[in-house]
């Protein structure tokens, strides 16, 4: 075997990828992914050059390559990240999973990796039924998806041709862009695996197929399409510590080789030197692999720019003095059109109606429609912008979003609910949903570890899951939160009918795991008492203490020594029935008699009165939630269909389910606090609502205020936005994260209609009428960051430019690094000796970046006011008094900003 060739082939798999490198240039979008492939190719050549310089010409080069291939074969793979990839039993590969703190541990192959995304890499391909025709799939227009949104592959019929061998070819265009090839018919019906009528008609009427007397069997043709769709699906990861992992594994391998597998009979200096040489080369290769992984990890973990930030306010939140500017802005027509599309106003709506008609007071106004001047007039009119907002919505990979929210929300979130991909492989699910178990576990574990840090010490997390992953999810949650913080597994009856086509049993329920941040500080709120519960309490004897119900004086268990007979002052005696025992002592029972706590009925029986006023003013939550009390999947679909078009999102959770979770896990609390404030014009400081009471009522100059604390609810798999809609209606603050296009098509329209007061879901039940405000924005994605990286390993000195003094970023460039961030030379001002180094956000390279929201995320500050200064420059005042404008982004004053464009 040629081990040199085999080893380099394995390296090529890792840095180029067998399937990836075969792509034609047009197949991969101009994205971070394609840029990374180019960088990896250069880095592969760097590693190869090192190995050639070290091994070529050595007498035992064959054995060195043999050992390198034998070891690295188990870990290098086409995903590009080393991990336990090929682990048959005969290789005797081991992993450390034991600790002193516990006697069980969950192990999975991708445990120490950051999960980035899963993708299917479609390429042009010809498949045949091996008889009369071929199907030619042209994927030249297929564009690689960014991040982890699910690829929706689209097939369009082009024509039928005859190839050089005289065989009929059905030509199919493959894309994931629905607007491409508008004149071609779709092969499949929308959201279906059935052929479209148009496609079947095209085949039936095609002259080549007719002349060749080729009859198309639909099932055979479907098999060909299914085969095409089963191309290489690859999970992309980044190792948390590749160098340490590979070194540990190499040491174990070397030990096994020396003491178990080696045929060495006699140790001598030459053999020892040769083995040390192999180890040194392997360690250097491991370092090279680890260095590259560390660069990718730094890009993955670096803070991301916020961009495309907009605000939505109900009209009642706006200053009436701004209405002329708003209604006369050229963008107001676009705003009216959006209201009409949301069915919030009719075609006869006039701008004069906005303030004159009470029914329009909750219309949602989106700043995206307006000019910069009008937008900043709106934003600057609020004394404390953050305190006005009910929620924040972020379009991003949820790992990146959680990482970005950490400085601002660490330890402040009361409730997290998520409904992650169930890993069923369902074609109808909006996320990539057919992970290997290990990939799924890495994906969920990475995000749980971050989200746990956001919970306060009384907070809790609820996770919906079905039977496929629930057992593994429980183990992961035990690892992240600690077994002691497990609260309950709630069983939700999502379906109230059975499916007769089920193979074994018709599943009607889902699991909802609940974990606390700190079980010693955690408690559930009681459910509201029902009318039927209170109906059991009567007052037949007009007891002044109110309604009561009879409770027996005896119990099932007790001691024979405690049996007694008691005679009350009214002459009636009582003793426990045979086989029963007194519930109270003789002395306590007499006390109850004198408290008028006993009821002597006409049949001679005696009961204790249990008063309604003395029982829990609520019901303890149970672990089985029926569809009547917590809604059903059907109800969730109806909730969404009532506010948006039917079928815009499959199987959303019902609002009733989220209402129950929010109500047992959070509470809008009020507590009185005294503030010595000489002025009575109190302002909300962003933590809740300050309500001023009249000083004269208390005869003091200072005022007594009531601070209303508002719980924060987070959903980082926001889906259709049910959690956010419910939190809004229940008066909770909310944070939502989603990355699919339904962010704009489903979630934002839904929340706008909720704020508008559109009655749906639980609106009537909780008497929600409308009103509110929220912010939404995107985060720079990992692939965007990659797209602006360049390979600089060979650059020992900064590249020369026409004017060396104008070289942006020259003092900070990491010349010894593998990657550099091009934006570090585009987003900072010219460098001159003695001058401040500032971010330049005026350049076209800004690309809708919002540096103020970025700073808020980085520093953990709250935006108090956004305004244009006297020069018309965009500016921001934060809650700590800092005022920043686009002209004053000094990296020395705000050193954390450096992390946006240079990373360690």
**DSSP-derived secondary structure for 800-849:** P-SSGGG-TTTTT--TTSSEEEGGGGTSBPPP-TT---BB--SSGGGTTB
Calculate helix-pair angle for 633-643, 748-755, nearest 10 degrees: 70
pLDDT value of residue 431: 41
Interhelix angle 3-15/32-55, rounded to 10 degrees, is: 160
CB count within 10 Å of CB 491 equals: 16
Identify whether the C-beta of residue 516 lies closer than 8 Å to the C-beta of residue 487.
yes
Distance CA 794, CA 113 (A): 28
In DSSP terms, 391 is beta-bridged to: 734, 774
Q: What is the C-alpha separation between 689 and 492, in angstroms, rounded? A: 35
Dist CA 213 CA 132 (whole Å): 9
SS3 label, residue 167: coil
Rounded to an integer, what distance in angstroms lies between the CA atom of residue 206 and that of residue 156?
Answer: 15
Instruction: Sheet containing 863-868: give its strands across.
Output: 863-868, 874-878, 883-885
For residue 531, give the nearest of 611, 623, 597, 612 by alpha carbon: 612
d(CA 325, CA 54): 72
pLDDT confidence of residue 150 = 60
**Tokens at 890, concatenated:** 């000094």
Query: What is the number of H-type helices and E-type strands within the chain?
Result: 27, 33
User: Which residues 6+ apart lie within 8 Å of 231 measured at CB?
Assistant: 19, 120, 121, 122, 123, 125
CB 366, CB 310: distance < 8 Å: yes
Q: Which residue has the tokens 């590979």?
A: 246
Contacts of 632 (CB under 8 A, 6+ apart): 493, 494, 495, 496, 654
SS3 (DSSP) at 113 = strand
Q: What is the pLDDT of residue 406?
A: 96
Report how far apart, in Å, the C-alpha atoms of 190 and of each of 185, 196, 198, 844 are: 12, 8, 12, 39
H/E run at residue 207:
helix 207-211
Q: What are phi and psi of 666, to 5 degrees?
A: -140, 160
- Count the Cβ atoms, other than its own, within 10 Å of residue 80: 25
Give the C-alpha separation, 259 to 255, whole Å: 6
Q: What pLDDT, on the 0 to 100 scale, is given for residue 844?
A: 57
Contact 786, 297 (CB under 8 A): no
Of the chain, the end-to-end C-alpha distance in Å amounts to 42
DSSP code for 22 = T
Closest CA to 715 of 732, 736, 691: 736
Distance between CA atoms of residues 891 and 898, nearest Å: 6
Neighbouring residues of 891: CB distance < 8 A, sequence distance ≥ 6: 828, 836, 837, 838, 839, 897, 898
Q: Could you give the CA distance from residue 351 to residue 357 in angstroms, rounded to a whole number?
A: 11
Give dist(CA 718, CA 740) in Å, integer. Answer: 10
Give tens-digit pLDDT for 410-443.
999 999 999 998 877 654 334 444 457 888 899 9
Distance of CA 421 to the CA centre of its chain: 10
Tell me the chain's radius of gyration from C-alpha atoms: 34
CA 831 from chain centre, in angstroms, equals 39
Residues (pLDDT < 50) of the chain are: 18-29, 427-434, 672-706, 795-815, 830-834
Q: Hey, what are 566's tokens? A: 């008691």
Q: Which two tokens mark 808?
A: 């942006």
- 323 and 355 in contact (C-beta within 8 Å)? yes
Taken in order of first residue, the domains within the chain and their CATH numbers are 3-116+242-301 (no CATH), 122-231 (no CATH), 391-498+505-520+628-669+708-771 (3.40.50.150), 531-611 (no CATH)
Contacts 24+ apart (CB under 8 A), 194-197: 195/221, 195/222
Q: Looking at residue 798, what is its pLDDT?
A: 40
Q: Are 740 and 349 in contact (CB under 8 A)?
A: no
Residue among 771, 775, 774 nearest 362 (CA): 771
How many Å apart are CA 153 and CA 62, to the nearest integer? 46
193, two tokens:
């695996």
Classify residue 417 by burial, with Cβ atoms within 10 Å: 0-12, 13-18, 19+: buried
pLDDT of the residue at 184: 92
Torsion angle of C-alpha atoms 590, 594, 598, 599, degrees rounded to 10: 130
Distance CA(736)–CA(723), nearest Å, equals: 8
Q: What pLDDT score does 65 carry?
A: 92
Best CA proximity match to 127, nearest among 200, 216, 204, 221: 221
Q: In b/e form, how buried is each residue of 718-741, taking b as 16+ CB within 10 angstroms?
A: bbbbbbbbbbbbbbbbbbbbbbbe
Query: Contact at 8 Å (CB) between 466 and 422?
Result: yes
CA angle, residues 53, 59, 60, in degrees to nearest 5: 90
Contact 289, 246 (CB under 8 A): yes
**What are the two backbone dihedrals, phi and then psi, of residue 855, each rounded to the nearest 5 degrees?**
-65, -40
CA 490 to chain centre: 22
3-state secondary structure of 253: helix
């Amino acid at each position: 075997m040629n081990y040199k060739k085999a080893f380099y082939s394995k390296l090529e798999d890792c840095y180029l990828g067998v399937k990836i490198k075969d792509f034609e240039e047009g197949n991969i979008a101009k994205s971070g992914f394609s840029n990374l492939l180019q960088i990896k190719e250069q880095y592969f050549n760097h590693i190869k050059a090192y190995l050639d310089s070290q091994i070529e010409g050595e007498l035992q080069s064959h054995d060195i390559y043999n050992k390198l291939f034998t070891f690295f074969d188990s870990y290098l793979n086409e995903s590009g990240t080393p991990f336990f990839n090929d682990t048959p039993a005969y290789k005797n590969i081991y992993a450390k999973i034991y600790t002193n703190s516990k006697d069980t541990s969950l192990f999975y192959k991708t445990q120490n990796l950051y999960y980035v995304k899963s993708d299917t890499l479609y390429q042009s391909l010809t498949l045949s039924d091996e008889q009369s025709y071929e199907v030619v799939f042209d994927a030249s227009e297929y564009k690689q998806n960014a991040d982890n949104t699910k690829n929706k592959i689209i097939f369009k019929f082009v024509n039928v041709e005859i190839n050089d061998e005289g065989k009929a070819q059905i030509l199919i265009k493959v894309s994931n862009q629905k607007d491409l090839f508008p004149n071609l018919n779709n092969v499949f019906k929308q959201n279906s695996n059935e052929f479209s009528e148009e496609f079947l008609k095209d085949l039936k009427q095609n002259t080549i197929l007719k002349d060749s007397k080729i009859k198309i069997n639909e099932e055979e043709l479907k098999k060909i399409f299914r085969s095409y769709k089963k191309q290489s699906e690859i999970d992309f990861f980044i190792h948390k510590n590749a160098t340490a992992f590979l070194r540990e594994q190499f040491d174990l391998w070397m030990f096994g080789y020396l003491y178990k597998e080696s045929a060495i009979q006699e140790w001598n200096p030459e053999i020892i030197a040769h083995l040390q040489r192999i180890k040194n080369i392997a360690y250097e290769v491991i370092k090279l692999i680890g260095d590259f992984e560390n660069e990718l990890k730094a890009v993955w973990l670096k803070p991301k720019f916020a961009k495309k930030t907009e605000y939505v306010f109900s009209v009642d939140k706006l200053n009436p003095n701004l209405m002329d500017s708003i209604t006369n802005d050229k963008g107001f027509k676009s705003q009216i059109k959006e209201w009409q599309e949301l069915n919030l106003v009719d075609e006869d709506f006039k701008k004069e109606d906005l303030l004159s008609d009470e029914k329009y007071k909750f219309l949602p106004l989106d700043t995206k429609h307006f000019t910069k001047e009008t937008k900043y007039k709106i934003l600057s009119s609020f004394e404390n912008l953050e305190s006005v907002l009910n929620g924040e919505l972020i379009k991003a990979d949820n790992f990146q979003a959680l990482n970005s929210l950490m400085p601002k929300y660490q330890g402040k979130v009361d409730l997290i609910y998520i409904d992650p991909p169930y890993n069923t492989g369902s074609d109808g699910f909006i996320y990539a949903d057919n992970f290997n178990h290990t990939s799924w576990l890495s994906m969920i574990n990475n995000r749980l570890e971050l989200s746990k840090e956001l919970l306060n010490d009384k907070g809790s997390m609820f996770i919906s899951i079905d039977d496929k992953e629930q057992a593994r999810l429980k183990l992961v949650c035990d690892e992240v939160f600690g077994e002691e913080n497990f609260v309950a597994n709630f069983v939700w009856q999502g379906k109230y009918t059975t499916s007769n086509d089920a193979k074994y049993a018709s599943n009607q329920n889902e699991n909802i795991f609940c974990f606390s941040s700190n079980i010693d500080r955690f408690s559930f709120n009681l459910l509201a008492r029902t009318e039927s519960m209170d109906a059991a309490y009567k007052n037949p004897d007009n007891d002044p203490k109110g309604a009561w119900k009879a409770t027996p004086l005896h119990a099932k268990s007790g001691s024979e020594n405690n049996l007694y007979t008691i005679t009350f002052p009214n002459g009636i005696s009582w003793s426990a029935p045979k086989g029963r025992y007194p519930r109270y002592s003789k002395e306590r029972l007499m006390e109850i008699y004198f408290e008028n706590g006993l009821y002597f009925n006409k049949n001679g029986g005696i009961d204790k009165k249990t008063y309604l006023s003395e029982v829990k003013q609520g019901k303890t939550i149970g672990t089985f939630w029926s569809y009547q009390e917590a809604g059903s999947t059907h109800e969730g679909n109806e909730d969404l269909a009532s506010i948006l078009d039917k079928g815009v999102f499959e199987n959303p959770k019902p609002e009733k389910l989220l209402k129950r979770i929010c109500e047992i896990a959070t509470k809008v609390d009020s507590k009185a606090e005294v503030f010595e404030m000489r002025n009575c014009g109190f302002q909300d400081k962003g933590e809740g609502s300050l309500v001023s009471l009249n000083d004269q009522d208390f005869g003091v100059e200072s005022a007594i205020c009531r601070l209303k604390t508002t719980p924060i609810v987070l959903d980082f798999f926001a889906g259709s936005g049910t959690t956010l809609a419910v939190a809004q209606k229940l008066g909770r603050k909310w944070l939502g994260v989603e990355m699919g296009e339904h962010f704009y098509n489903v979630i934002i329209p839904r929340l706008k209609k909720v704020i508008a007061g559109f009655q749906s879901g639980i609106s009537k039940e909780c008497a929600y009428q409308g009103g509110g405000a929220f912010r939404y924005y995107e985060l720079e994605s990992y692939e965007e960051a990659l797209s602006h990286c360049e390979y600089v390993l060979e650059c020992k000195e900064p590249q020369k430019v026409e004017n060396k003094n104008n070289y942006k970023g020259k003092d900070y460039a990491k010349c010894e690094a593998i990657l550099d961030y091009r934006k570090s030379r585009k987003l900072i001002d010219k460098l001159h000796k003695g001058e401040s180094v500032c971010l330049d956000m005026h350049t076209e390279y800004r690309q809708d970046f919002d540096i103020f929201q970025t700073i808020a995320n980085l520093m953990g500050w709250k935006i108090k006011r956004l305004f244009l200064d006297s020069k018309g420059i965009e500016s921001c005042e934060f809650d700590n008094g800092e005022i920043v404008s686009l002209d004053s982004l000094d990296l020395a004053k705000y050193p954390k900003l450096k992390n946006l464009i240079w990373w360690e």
